[in-house]
């Protein structure tokens, strides 16, 4: 599709207030913009993306081009590819929350493509798109059940930017580059990728002259990020993102987007204006008691007014667009608790936007995952509103970390995490997969750093190591950072296997962080949001160097495909799963669990819901070996068989299901800081 120049003479017809945005039709394009308090809107048409001045300016004024708060026009002769923007006139009165500035060219909040300036001083411009102008070749969202899902969180650029990826320029670090690495994800057993933000974001907002690498500064809620495309034309990112989705779907892998609907890149009152601030500032943002300032529940300078009807519609239309026209399979909502705040900033018991999303028929069956907290202290894990939401279970991360670190008093908590966190989700008939279990994510230590550093080391970020959390529940295994000590290195490997064992055997939906399966390190940086550099990229030389750990992870992921919940082909409520799985807790003595603060160990026997097999897990977070007594394997003569022993080097750390040697006797020693799992097939 080529950029079309506007006709020399462009006489607008009244057009329609619906739909919002720029909609191509038979012989022209309809434009519609919501701008409540504006006094005049100018639609600017450009011949070329880099032009500083418009070729045509269409003034939208009078009743024929304004209906209530909507400004609209039909322009005959225009086609998809037309470059445009708005200049919006009105009061510049921050004390009333009004920040109109007609000297600024603004992008369309509903625009589907952007023309990027050749230099940072230029203005972005919107581009007319026909959203149906792509051949999906029959592709549709996969709708994989949550019970079959294993999520892999990754950064589009970071996955293939490193030269070790073997992906050559211009594909390295792009949507197209990620396509080349789909076989790796398949081999690992991943069923869904969760992509860090791919909405067009501001790359120039980090301090100390560093880039915004993670992408949590959205400019548009509809446009795929240009920096991840091999093409420079405005429509390239759309086609290449859709190529990626189609390729992942062909491989049986779903696409979940990390979406940011809690703030925008416009920042606080000193920030740059791209769109919303200059169009309807008081509608789009939560304002402080002093309307010249912004309420900030996000830590990013502003907060979207998500429960304002105008913003609710924008969010809902964005989600529908990414499902209907980009075929994504789900969304993870960054700082989702912000969406529960009303227009005064207070938590609402029935937030309209969350119920809009939860009940939208277009989004039915789409994965909805909430990061159920925000930067101002609203923590809603286990209490997030809605019937269909899953939640990032931050308590799973924290409790498992502290248990394996050796902290006291964690046995009761970690036991709950292993069986789907019924203390959190065992109410209102929640699904067993409501809990998205994770140990690490983009925000914080990688798994290798979690077992290698006691403290964060973020000096490279240029903020004097003040940024990033200081509460990591990490343990360096005796030496801070790099070491050649073989005992320390062996202990770190054991701890990583321990983490993966609890993560991948726990009920719920597991999520892995990019590269954790091959010991990717950020050298102790737990907030690498501004590090577009090898420290954040996937080092592909690690795949061979740490193939033993990757094999361990593959084997555990493969086990999840044979769980009875999957084999029965049905969704079970958490309460029903626990009843059918027959969970029995033990300590070192069968049938006598030790829930005391001094305890650092537990054992659990779980009989699968269809009575096909039974597994017995013994976890020892103590620094000395423990001798566990064993319950009978079954009522007959079948013995327990070894399956997992995290204290053993590969290939003894995990063997094929049912291939392990039988256990002799009624006791089993578990090495210090290790986990053993025994299994038995049950008679039909």
- Any idea which residues carry the catalytic annotation? 334, 371
Cis peptide before 19 (omega within 30 of 0): yes
Contact 617, 670 (CB under 8 A): no
Biggest CA pair distance of the chain? 92
CA distances from 643 to 237, 607, 660 (A): 46, 15, 6
Give burial (CB, 10 Å; 0-12/13-18/19+) of 48. exposed
Q: Look-up: residue for tokens 């973020």?
A: 458
Residue 43, strand partner residues: 58, 86
Report how far residue 179's alpha carbon sits from residue 173's, in angstroms, rounded to the nearest whole number: 11
Residue 402 vs residues 148, 397, 461, 503, 640: alpha-carbon distances, Å: 28, 9, 27, 14, 30
First to last CA, the chain: 61
Residues whose CB falls within 8 Å of the CB of residue 14, separated by 6 or more in sequence, listed in order: 64, 65, 72, 73, 74
**Strands 367-370 and 330-333, bridge-based pairing:** parallel
Element (H, E) at 314: helix 309-324
Contact call for residues 34 and 280 (beta carbons, < 8 A): yes
Joined together, the tokens standing for residue 519 give 């010991």
Spatial strand order of the sheet with 66-67 comes to 21-25, 28-34, 70-76, 66-67
| Chain CA centroid to CA 644, Å | 30
Distance CA 293, CA 71 (A): 27
The dihedral through the CA atoms of 288, 290, 293, 299 has a sign that is negative
Asked whether the bond before 651 is cis by omega within 30 degrees of 0, the reply is yes
What one-character-per-residue DSSP string does 165-208 give?
G-PPTTTTTSHHHHHHTHHHHHHHT--EEEES--B-B-SS-SST
Q: What is d(CA 30, CA 70) in angstroms, rounded to the nearest whole number?
A: 13
SS3 214: coil
Sequence-separated (6 or more) residues with CB below 8 Å from residue 247:
179, 182
Residue that the structure tokens 């059918």 belong to: 580
Q: Are 83 and 116 in contact (CB under 8 A)?
A: no
In 3-state terms, the chain is what percent helix, strand and coil (to 5)?
A: 25, 20, 55
Location of structure tokens 């005959």:
76
Map residue 576 onto helix, strand or coil. helix
10 Å CB burial of residue 290 (0-12, 13-18, 19+) is exposed
Number of alpha carbons in the 13 Å side-chain half-sphere of residue 15: 32
Query: 83, 92 in Cβ contact below 8 A?
Result: no
């Amino acid at each position: 599709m080529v950029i079309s120049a506007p006709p020399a003479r462009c006489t607008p017809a009244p057009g329609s207030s619906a739909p919002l945005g720029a909609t191509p039709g038979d012989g022209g394009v309809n434009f519609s913009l919501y701008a409540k308090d504006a006094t005049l809107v100018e639609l600017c048409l450009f011949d070329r993306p880099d032009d500083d001045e418009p070729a045509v300016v269409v003034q939208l004024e009078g009743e024929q081009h304004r209906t209530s708060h909507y400004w609209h026009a039909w322009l005959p002769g225009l086609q998809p590819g037309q470059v445009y923007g708005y200049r919006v006139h009105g009061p510049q009165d921050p004390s009333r929350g009004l920040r109109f500035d007609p000297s600024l060219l603004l992008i369309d909040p509903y625009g589907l493509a952007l023309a990027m300036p050749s230099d940072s001083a230029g203005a972005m411009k919107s581009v007319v798109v026909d959203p149906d102008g792509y051949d999906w070749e029959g592709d549709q969202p996969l709708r994989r059940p949550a019970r079959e899902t294993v999520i892999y969180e990754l950064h589009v650029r970071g996955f293939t930017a490193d030269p070790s990826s073997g992906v050559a320029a211009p594909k390295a670090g792009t949507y197209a580059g990620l396509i080349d690495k789909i076989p790796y994800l398949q081999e690992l057993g991943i069923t869904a990728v969760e992509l860090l933000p791919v909405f067009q974001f501001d790359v120039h907002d980090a301090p100390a002259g560093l880039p915004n690498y993670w992408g949590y500064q959205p400019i548009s809620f509809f446009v795929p990020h240009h920096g991840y495309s091999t093409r420079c034309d405005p429509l390239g990112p759309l086609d290449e993102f859709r190529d990626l989705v189609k390729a992942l779907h062909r491989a049986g892998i779903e696409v979940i987007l990390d979406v940011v609907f809690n703030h925008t890149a416009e920042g606080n009152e000193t920030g740059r204006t791209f769109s919303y601030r200059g169009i309807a500032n008081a509608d789009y943002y939560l304002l402080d008691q002093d309307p010249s300032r912004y309420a900030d529940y996000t830590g990013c300078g502003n907060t979207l007014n998500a429960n304002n009807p105008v913003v609710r519609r924008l969010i809902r239309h964005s989600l529908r667009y990414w499902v209907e026209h980009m075929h994504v399979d789900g969304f993870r909502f960054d700082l989702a608790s912000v969406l529960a705040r009303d227009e005064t900033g207070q938590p609402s018991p029935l937030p309209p936007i969350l119920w809009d999303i939860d009940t939208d028929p277009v989004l039915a069956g789409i994965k909805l995952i909430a990061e159920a907290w925000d930067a101002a202290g609203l923590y809603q894990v286990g209490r997030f509103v809605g019937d269909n939401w899953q939640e990032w279970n931050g308590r799973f991360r924290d409790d498992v970390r502290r248990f394996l670190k050796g902290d006291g008093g964690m046995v009761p908590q970690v036991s709950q995490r292993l069986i789907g966190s019924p203390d959190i989700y065992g109410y209102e008939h929640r699904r067993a997969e409501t809990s998205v279990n994770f140990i690490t994510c983009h925000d914080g230590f990688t798994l290798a750093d979690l077992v290698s550093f006691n403290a964060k080391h973020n000096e490279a970020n240029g903020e004097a190591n003040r940024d990033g959390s200081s509460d990591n529940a990490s343990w360096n295994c005796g030496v801070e950072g790099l070491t050649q000590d073989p005992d320390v290195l062996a202990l770190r490997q054991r701890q990583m296997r321990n983490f993966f064992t609890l993560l991948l055997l726990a009920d719920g939906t597991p999520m892995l962080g990019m590269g954790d399966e091959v010991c990717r390190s950020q050298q102790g940086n737990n907030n690498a949001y501004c590090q577009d550099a090898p420290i954040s990229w996937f080092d592909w030389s690690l795949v061979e160097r740490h193939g033993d750990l990757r094999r361990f992870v593959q084997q555990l992921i493969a086990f999840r495909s044979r769980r009875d919940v999957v084999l029965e082909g049905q969704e079970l409520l958490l309460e029903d799963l626990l009843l059918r799985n027959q969970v029995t807790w033990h300590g070192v003595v069968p049938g006598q669990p030790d829930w005391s603060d001094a305890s650092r160990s537990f054992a659990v026997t779980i009989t699968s819901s269809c009575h096909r097999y039974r597994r017995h897990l013994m976890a020892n977070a103590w620094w000395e070996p423990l001798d566990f007594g064993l319950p009978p394997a079954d009522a007959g003569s079948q013995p327990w068989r070894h399956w997992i022993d995290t204290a053993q080097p590969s290939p003894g750390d995990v063997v094929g299901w049912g291939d392990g040697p039988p256990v002799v006797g009624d006791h089993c020693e578990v090495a210090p800081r290790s986990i053993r799992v025994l299994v038995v097939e049950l008679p039909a």
